[in-house]
Amino acid sequence: MPAKLSLPTRTCASRTGLTSKITSSKLSLNSRQSAFTADQPANSSVPLDGINEGHFMTRPATILQSCILSSASISAGIWMVAMNPPLAETRPVASIPPADLIQPADLAASLESSSLPKPLILQVGFRTMYDQSHIPGSDYAGPGNMPTGLQVLRDRVAALPKDTVIVIYCGCCPWSSCPNIVAAYDTLHGLGFTKVKVLYIANNFGRDWVDKGYPATKDQGLRTETGR
Amino acid sequence: MNKSLCWITTAAILMLLCGATTAVKVGDVAPDFARADLAGRQVHLADYRGKLVLLNFWATWCAPCRKEMPLFSKWQRDYGARGLQIVGVSMDDDITSVKQLLVQRPVQYLIVMGDAKLGEQFGGVLGLPLSFLIDAQGRIVARYQGESDLAVMEAKLKELLPHH
């Protein structure tokens, strides 16, 4: 019978707010639009060399060229989408049951306690943030907004018993805007994990964890399995 | 001499072990950096001495950041001639998603790719958006963390720009 870890929680439903819906617009395949040079307004109309009306009707070679270019652009677009398919729209962060949230102060207290077994802590946000600072002993298993990130999460927990206490956190953005946490939470539940807690980070990891003086590290040493 | 060197080394090791980052404060000279823009050109922050720089850490996955971008483009158009240069530092893990987003939503200012090391130079970018206003002497004059009041930010930069 595994020892149970009871992590204290406080409800904070009133503070969670509603997630703003982000609807992704369709990917433009106009390969000529050089967005990141920043010199060209989004809606500017750029004549396409050699494909304006006059040339289009009179130069078969140009037609062939433009067909090849278009096919290449479409293929590139399909490849990009195939390699990185968008996730289905996720539920609002506010829909996570308050009983499954844990406050930073409570998690920090449980980490400092020598008598309680430690939960498995997973950062499901972004690598650049994890590399700068994370909760000691936590592993990187994200990002939750990408299929590849969720696969990292699945792989990380694949061998664990379903009653493992897992705390997931992100803190990339204000709570209601977090693109990672719900997908990671749902994935773990979908895998059958019954003791998943979500660290409630109202603003971001810097302000709500590091600035509060809770333990943080850059160290990426191996950790031993705990969480039961 | 040897003793002080020993203390400095110990302090540096301790800082590394603790994961501490030296927070840059308002009034400090902004750390210089060189990063490639999305076309591969090297961008040095120091090259913009003499201009007012709005250094904006952002990412494609950050909804509040995306909300700021059209306004930053407008500011670059409106105040560029008066000496404003906006530099967006993407903290995305990979460049592909940045390029994809900017095809859909072009911006009118410089974009470079950041990383954990650059974040640490600026005291740790542990939440987005995060912006710094850097004056013509390269000094940080304001820091904006999280969803900021953009009207307040604009008023501040207008105050710092030379009046024609």
In chain B, the DSSP E strands lie at 34-36, 42-44, 52-58, 84-90, 110-113, 130-134, 140-145
Please enumerate in sequence order all residues whose Cβ is within 8 A of that of B97, keeping only pairs 6 or more positions apart, or say none.
Answer: A84, B60, B61
The reply to whether residue B21 touches residue A216, judged by beta carbons under 8 angstroms, is no
Q: What is the pLDDT of residues A112-156, one digit of tens each?
A: 988 878 899 999 999 999 999 999 999 999 999 999 999 999 999
Work out the percent of chain B whose per-residue pLDDT is above 90. Answer: 79
Which residues span the domain enclosing A67? 48-83
The distance of B74 to chain A (nearest Cα, Å) reads 10
Selecting from A20, A42, A128 the residue whose C-beta is nearest the C-beta of B106 gives: A42
Whole-angstrom distance, CA of residue A9 vs CA of residue A106: 7
At residue B92, the 3 state secondary structure works out as: coil
B93 band by pLDDT with thresholds 50, 70 and 90: confident
Inform me whether the pLDDT recorded for B155 exceeds 50. yes
Task: Specify the DSSP class assigned to residue B55.
Answer: E
Is A129 an interface residue toward B (CB < 8 Å)? yes
Torsion angle of the four alpha carbons A150, B146, B127, B134, in this order, in degrees rounded to the nearest 10? 140
Tell whether A14 is covered by a domain: no
Contact B85/B48 with Cβ under 8 angstroms? Answer: yes
Inform me whether the pLDDT recorded for A62 exceeds 60. no
Whole-angstrom distance, CA of residue B161 vs CA of residue B147: 23
- How many domains, in total, are found in chain A? 2
The distance of A40 to chain B (nearest Cα, Å) reads 7
Task: Specify the DSSP class assigned to residue A208.
Answer: I
Contact B79/B85 with Cβ under 8 angstroms? Answer: no
Tell whether A142 is covered by a domain: yes
Tell whether A30 is covered by a domain: no
* Residues A118, A146 within the same domain: yes
CATH architecture for residues B24-160: 3-Layer(aba) Sandwich (3.40)
In chain A, the DSSP E strands lie at 101-102, 120-123, 139-140, 165-169, 195-199
For residue B117, the chain A residue with the least C-alpha distance is A132
How many CA atoms within 13 Å lie on the side-chain side of B105?
17
What number is the average pLDDT over the span A6-20? 39
What number is the average pLDDT over the span A168-192? 96
Q: What is the pLDDT of residues A85-112, one digit of tens each?
A: 444 456 899 999 999 999 999 999 999 9
pLDDT of residue B64: 93
Residue length of chain A: 228
B130 band by pLDDT with thresholds 50, 70 and 90: very high
Q: What is the largest CA-CA distance in chain A?
A: 83
Inform me whether the pLDDT recorded for A177 exceeds 60. yes
Q: What is the pLDDT of residues A30-40, one digit of tens each?
A: 333 333 333 33
* Residues A59, A144 within the same domain: no
Please enumerate in sequence order all residues whose Cβ is within 8 A of that of B15, keeping only pairs 6 or more positions apart, or say none.
Answer: B22
Tell whether A117 is covered by a domain: yes
Residues of A in contact with B63 (CB under 8 A): 20, 22, 173, 177, 179
Tell whether A22 is covered by a domain: no
What number is the average pLDDT over the span A48-61? 36
The reply to whether residue A206 touches residue B103, judged by beta carbons under 8 angstroms, is no
Task: Specify the DSSP class assigned to residue B93.
Answer: S
The reply to whether residue A22 touches residue B17, judged by beta carbons under 8 angstroms, is no
pLDDT of residue B4: 55
* Residues A73, A106 within the same domain: no
Write the ipTM. 0.81
Task: Specify the DSSP class assigned to residue A174.
Answer: -
For residue B121, the chain A residue with the least C-alpha distance is A132
* Greater model confidence, A106 or A72: A106
Please enumerate in sequence order all residues whose Cβ is within 8 A of that of B96, keeping only pairs 6 or more positions apart, or say none.
Answer: A80, A84
CA end-to-end span of chain A: 10
Tell whether A107 is covered by a domain: yes
* Residues A189, A140 within the same domain: yes
- Token pair for A162: 């379903």
- Among A2-11, A172-181, A195-204, B60-69, the range scoring the smallest mean pLDDT is A2-11
Whole-angstrom distance, CA of residue A225 vs CA of residue B5: 40
Domain regions of chain B by residue span: 24-160
The reply to whether residue A84 touches residue B147, judged by beta carbons under 8 angstroms, is no
Selecting from B104, B114, B128 the residue whose C-beta is nearest the C-beta of A25 gives: B104
* Residues A62, A168 within the same domain: no
Q: If residue A185 lies in a helix (H) or strand (E), which one and from where to where?
A: helix A181-190
The distance of B38 to chain A (nearest Cα, Å) reads 7
* Greater model confidence, A24 or A228: A228
- Whole-number average pLDDT of chain B: 89
Whole-angstrom distance, CA of residue A188 vs CA of residue A46: 48
pLDDT of residue A116: 78
Selecting from A28, A132, A210 the residue whose C-beta is nearest the C-beta of B103 gives: A28
pLDDT of residue B43: 95
At residue A100, the 3 state secondary structure works out as: helix
Residues of B in contact with A217 (CB under 8 A): 17-19
Rounded to two decimals, what is the model's pTM? 0.71
Inform me whether the pLDDT recorded for B153 exceeds 60. yes
The reply to whether residue B126 touches residue A27, judged by beta carbons under 8 angstroms, is no
Work out the percent of chain A whose per-residue pLDDT is above 90. Answer: 52
Chain B interface disruption, residue of A128, A182, A209, A211, most B CBs within 10 A: A128
Task: Specify the DSSP class assigned to residue B49.
Answer: T
- Token pair for B106: 């072009």
pLDDT of residue B164: 64
Q: What is the pLDDT of residues B57-76, one digit of tens each?
A: 999 999 999 999 999 999 99
Q: What is the pLDDT of residues B18-70, one digit of tens each?
A: 444 557 889 999 999 999 999 999 999 999 999 999 999 999 999 999 999 99
Residues of A in contact with B106 (CB under 8 A): 33, 35-36, 38, 40-42
Is A70 an interface residue toward B (CB < 8 Å)? no
Whole-angstrom distance, CA of residue A68 vs CA of residue B78: 40
